[in-house]
Amino acid sequence: MERYREIEKSIIKKYRKEIWSKFVKAVKDYELIDEGDKIAVCISGGKDSFLLAKCMQELQRHGIFKFDLEFIIMNPGYAEENINKIKENLKLMKIDAHIFETPIFKVADTSESPCYLCARMRRGYLYDYAKKLGCNKIALGHHMDDVVETILLNLIFNGSYSSMMPKLESDNFEGIELIRPLYLVREHNIISWKNYNKLEFIDCACSVTKKSGGKRLEMKNLIKVLEKYNKDAFKSIFTSSNNVNLNTITGYIKDKEKHSFLEEYKK
């Protein structure tokens, strides 16, 4: 059996419970894909986005309704060895992708807030390219761990409760929706799938994150500490965004407008 067939089979068979079923559940529960969609699957070169690409291929082949896929890779200024590794994995996994160049790393490196600028520019370039291809949705490879880490980052560093949504409409690109089909998949299961298939992907190619490890690494370590106190801490944090009790908070933001509990108090 060819390697790409073995990789596909492992998703459906060996990792059916940990990956495939969670992927399908997110697509159904959050209504991420509709009949006739044309979806740009964004591949960064890492394990998460390549797994997403294979899951989307499988769903397209065996799903209950028809939709189209385009696979896009934005080169923000990767070193040549990283681009070569991405191309090697595309060939290995039978994925035909569009690769386009951008100056993101070069521009972001001159900024006082490189991470913020990089993320903002990445999203803009991806939306723009997807729209040129006639896509109405873009799919990103964020997983369940990304969601929990985002909640903690906002609580600790921003003083706000804000999660990462399974889907959202673009404010700047009309008619484009962002979806996250791996929303319910744990990162350790993605790592297990990668190792089982003896796959090698690029790590974060950002020079800023490489130096410090990044805030997300700090959140991963924090979660490990919290799980010493409660083994279900990760699950509880994730579930908390579905159980926000508005009767017990003093304020909230809706559509960028602030509200106070006093607005409804004693009414």
- Give how far Cα 151 sits from Cα of 115, 139, 143, 146, 208, Å: 18, 21, 13, 9, 22
In angstroms, the CA 182 to CA 133 distance is 23
Query: Looking at the domain assignment, is residue 41 inside a domain?
Result: yes
In angstroms, the CA 140 to CA 63 distance is 19
Query: Looking at the domain assignment, is residue 45 inside a domain?
Result: yes
More confident residue, 249 or 63: 249
Query: Looking at the domain assignment, is residue 252 inside a domain?
Result: no
- pLDDT of the residue at 105: 84
- pLDDT of the residue at 211: 56
- pLDDT of the residue at 113: 67
8 A C-beta contact, residue 73 and residue 43: yes
Q: What is the pTM (predicted TM-score) of this model?
A: 0.93
Query: Looking at the domain assignment, is residue 255 inside a domain?
Result: no
**DSSP code of residue 150:** H
- pLDDT of the residue at 65: 86
User: Of the given ranges (14-18, 132-136, 169-173), which has the lowest mean pLDDT?
Assistant: 169-173
8 A C-beta contact, residue 86 and residue 112: no
Predicted confidence (pLDDT) at residue 207 exceeds the cutoff of 60? no
Predicted confidence (pLDDT) at residue 205 exceeds the cutoff of 80? no
- In the chain, the number of structural domains is 1
Parent domain of 92:
3-243
In angstroms, the CA 196 to CA 9 distance is 12
Query: Looking at the domain assignment, is residue 25 inside a domain?
Result: yes
CA atoms within 13 A on the CB side of 17: 1
Rounding to the nearest 10 degrees, give the CA dihedral for residues 31, 71, 77, 218.
30
- The CA-based angle 105-140-159, given to 5 degrees, is 75
Rounded to a whole number of angstroms, the CA Rg of the chain reads 19
Predicted confidence (pLDDT) at residue 116 exceeds the cutoff of 80? no
Q: H or E segment at 42?
A: strand 38-42
Query: Looking at the domain assignment, is residue 91 inside a domain?
Result: yes
CATH number, domain containing residue 47: 3.40.50.620
- pLDDT of the residue at 212: 52
Query: Looking at the domain assignment, is residue 266 inside a domain?
Result: no
pLDDT digits (tens, 9 = 90+) for 157-182: 999 999 999 999 988 888 999 999 99
Query: Looking at the domain assignment, is residue 262 inside a domain?
Result: no
8 A C-beta contact, residue 74 and residue 100: yes
- The CA-based angle 55-235-230, given to 5 degrees, is 145
In angstroms, the CA 267 to CA 220 distance is 43
